[in-house]
Structure 1
Amino acid sequence: MTTIKQDDLIQSIADAFQFISYYHPKDYIQALGAAYDMEQSKAAKDAIAQILYNSRLCAEGHRPICQDTGIAVVFLDIGMQVQWDANMSLDEMINEGVRRAYTHPDNVLRASVLSDPAGARINTKDNTPAVIHTRIVPGDKVSVKLAAKGGGSENKAKFAALNPSDDLVEWIIKSVSEMGAGWCPPGIMGVGIGGTPEKAMLLAKESLLEPVNIQELIQRSQNGAELSRPEQLRLELYEKINALGVGAQGLGGLTTVVDVKVLDYPTHAASLPVAIIPNCAATRHTHFVLDGSGPAVFTPPALEDWPAVTWTASPTARRVDLDSLTHEDVQNWKTGEQLLLNGKLLTGRDAAHKRIVDTLAKGESLPEGVNFKNRFIYYVGPVDPIAGESVGPAGPTTATRMDKYTKTMLAETGLIGMIGKAERGPIAIEAIKKHRAVYLIAVGGAAYLIAKAIEKSTVIAYKELGMEAIYEFEVKDMPVTVGVDVRGDSVHLSGPKKWSKLIRKG
């Protein structure tokens, strides 16, 4: 019989979530480094370089890889011979660990979890509660797998109750092609097959915690090893997903996924439930075991494990003065062009946009200081700063969530441009084209690198919204790419289309 102390579990959970906030798993980083070496798309290669360089900066500085520090997901296998020295419930212990991790003064993590999700949506302020899955298994230890899962990738999860005769691979490839870039590729695709709807989703999520080892599987296949059906599916899906040409950040390229994971489970004769869940470029997970000897110990990876990739702005990038920019100035910007932004811009994401649009609909004035005339808005919810920082990691959020507000923002505020990540939908592109505005993209997964370009940050409206407040940033050489130009041309349509054709031609 093993006794696990309450404080040991709490401390281990807290340490684990801090650890994964700034250390990518070594296997993912090395797989991404291999993808960088192989990549032929200039835009995708630049995006991967930013992600890799950002990862190293975070490892050195112990700051979050991504501003979306994720919702806490915890899988526990508890041995039947384990007893607890605790006065808190299991869920209470885990949530206390999450609370300590996300409010750690030396590395504050963004609080993104909202209670009353279909109502008032009130921030819990400490990222609790976690999503917890528990199994009772033989043994005398507690095995814990945990992940910090960002909203951009979670929102792209898909499920289907297929007929047994349906083509499972066809559905998966079609679904991935419809995901766009909001999940921040290159990443990992988790697939769950069988069981019931909730079991398939759980399998897909848990599969993402397994090691990146697709290259070893490819080698085994080439050596004539007999593969299981899930292993065969992994190889087929890996090839076909990358053949879509989506590429890093959806810009078009050779690598969309660095691995595909498949877990299956017996299912009803009438059923074929299938779920897919992507893991983004901010892949964050770890595993530890408690055996009664104390809290878990996490060994930092060596900096030598990171690929020797750095990032600097292209010498051909256009420097833009945001403080003197006019509507006429953006008319000759072209899709795919790299820019370096200098000056002041405003921020705003979901909650702020809703308030702005509701205020305008009432014919009321926007808060003092919120003037979008000839300005840009950056879709971001930053991490709180620590000593010496003007702002914490501040990468872009998925722009498509703001599509429904774009027409009003461009028509009624004088806004001339937006900055986010991933593609814009047809409604937003039509509004951009009509008002001859532009949409710029920053690299998702490069939040700390971007934050280093923000010299000053001031909350100017809706302070009570926390990370969703409106800030004014003063930036110096903030790297972005023109995603949609004034003609409505989108790099997220042209890039993958081009690279899909090139890949098919071999």
Structure 2
Amino acid sequence: AVVHIELVPGDHVEITVAAKGGGSENKSKFAMLNPSDSIRDWVVNTVPLMGAGWCPPGMLGIGIGGTAEKAMILAKEALMEPIDMAELKARGPKSPIEEMRIELFDAVNDLGIGAQGLGGLSTILDVKILDTPTHAASKPVAMIPNCAATRHAHFTLTGNGPAYLEPPRLEDWPQVNWTPDKASIPVNLDTLTPADVASWKPGDRLLLNGKMLTGRDAAHKRMTEMLARGETLPVDFTNRVIYYVGPVDPVRDEVVGPAGPTTATRMDKFTEVMLAQTGLIAMIGKAERGPMGIEAIKRHKAAYLMAVGGAAYLVAKAIKAARVVAFEDLGMEAIYEFDVKDMPVTVAVDSEGTSVHQTGPADWKARIAAARTQQPA
């Protein structure tokens, strides 16, 4: 754990615990602006650089002032605040910080990045800002996103025994009975061919059935090193699909624990080797692919499929069997073989190299701008 302690007057202890995923934490940004620079401009120009690996829609925590490390801590602390943007807009701002929150909220959503980075009206649900005095020559600004899966707990210890957190009442949530969309395309992974992959179009929704392999950073690093030495891989990837995931250990009667996709851009540097030398024809992850990954996908007529980030438990419901097939010593980073049924994914990069993470937000940004110009003054 990373622990921050603040000593204050009183006779009790307030504790906040945050379990933060790498997809959002890795998108943290910091800048030492000049005192005259615009924080708004920096935020609006920086958010698109974060891609979609932080699983929007989420929150932005912004820390202003202090020193470099103080600004980062403020940004992280800001993320622990409750979402109240609707209430703030309804009553109106009462301070310059609240004015900035509203301004940034509207400006970021006007970017059209949308849920999972596929384009839309809701990129962020709230902006939280904490500030503190700083040197007159400096303006440290930090920005940290929180993904759609906001995992934090708050409790107080008074010395009168343990604190008990009341579990959420499931009946407070709407009943959701997911069934595959009729427009979805069923895919048999066990008979998949390069011709099948070439037929997929950007934005197609697929339902995957059959056996897939898994692997992420450590497995890819080991495989590319083996291939460089001329060694044979322990798994045959010919006409197979790989899922970028490190599954959590199962408990009780689970086949596998939460098994959500990891950020695909981290595998971009391995993509050319994997597609060129293993027979792999498709990959599954979350968020966008970078230029290097897209170029490799286009060159080898492969495809990249996007699973929903921030929903690891729900994704795991599609996994009906799981077994380790290679690199068992890597633990959760080992190569598994999953047997899946109706696992929903979206074609995010097709065999021609078209990325919906580029076309979707660009389309929505233009539509939002057009709608803004048509509004009466």
Do Structure 1 and Structure 2 share a fold, with TM-score over 0.5? yes
Secondary structure of 1:316's aligned partner: coil
Matches within 5 A, 1:43-442: 130-221=1-92, 227-367=94-234, 370-442=235-307
The reply on whether 1:485 has 2:350 as its aligned counterpart is: yes
- SS of 1:396's partner is coil
Residue of structure 2 in register with 1:465 after alignment: 330
Per-residue deviation at 1:168? 1.1
The aligned amino acid for 2:130 is L
Q: Shift of the alpha carbon at 1:308?
A: 4.7
Return closer, same or farther for 1:310/1:175 CA change in 2, 3 Å cut-off.
farther
**Secondary structure of 1:440's partner?**
strand
Residue 309 of structure 1: how far off its partner (Å): 4.5
Instruction: Find the aligned partners of 1:450 and 1:145 in 2 and give their Cα distance.
Output: 28
The whole-number CA distance in structure 1 between the counterparts of 2:107 and 2:179 is: 32
Report how far residue 304 of structure 1 moved.
3.2
1:433 match: secondary structure = helix
Identical aligned pairs, as a percentage?
65
Provide the aligned length of Structure 1 versus Structure 2: 371
* 2-structure distance, mates of 1:220, 1:393: 40
Structure 1 residues 310 and 215, CA gap change in structure 2 (3 angstroms): farther
Partner residue, 2:317: 452
Separation of aligned partners in 2, 1:286 and 1:229: 29
Q: CA deviation at 1:205?
A: 0.1
- Secondary structure of the equivalent of 1:436? coil
Unaligned regions of 5+ residues in structure 2, if any? Answer: 372-377
Moved segments of 4+, more than 6 Å: none
User: Equivalents in 2 of 1:440, 1:151: separation in Å?
Assistant: 20
Q: TM-score, normalised on structure 1?
A: 0.72
| Cα drift, residue 228 of structure 1 | 1.2
Where 2:7 maps in the other structure, the secondary structure is strand
The CA deviation at 1:217 is 0.5
User: Structure 1, unaligned stretches of length 5 or more?
Assistant: 1-129
SS, match of residue 19 in structure 2: strand
